[in-house]
Amino acid sequence: MEDEPESRTTILNELGYCFLRLGWFEEAVKIYEEYLKLLPSDNDGRFFLASAYASLKWTGDAIEELRTILSTDQNDVLAHHDLALC
C-alpha cells in the first residue's frame, strides 16, 4: 500500500468515512488527520474531519477546519452551514 499513494488515500478516505458513520469519531479523526497529511487540499476530507471534531464537541478544532475550507472556497455551502452551527 505504501508504494501506491493514490490507493492509500482512497483507503484512508473510505475508512475515515466508515468510522464517522459508525460514530467512532476519535478513530475518524486519526484517519482523516493522516489522510490530510497526504492530501491537504482536499476540502471534502477536511469537512469530514471537522464533522468528527464537532461530534466530539471539539468546537475550536471544527471551526479551524471549516475556516480553512472557506479560505479556499468561499462558496462551500456545507462549510458555511456547519460553521454557523458551531
Provide the pLDDT confidence category of residue 6 given band limits of 50, 70 and 90: confident
Domain ranges, ordered by start, for the chain: 5-85
What class, spelled out in words, does domain 5-85 have in CATH?
A: mainly alpha
pLDDT (tens digit per residue) in 37-81: 999 999 999 999 999 999 999 999 999 999 999 999 999 999 999
pTM of the model: 0.90
* 3-state per-residue secondary structure call for the chain: CCCCHHHHHHHHHHHHHHHHHHCCHHHHHHHHHHHHHHCCCCHHHHHHHHHHHHHCCCHHHHHHHHHHHHHHCCCCHHHHHHHHHC
Is residue 2 very low, low, confident or very high in pLDDT (cuts 50, 70, 90)?
A: low
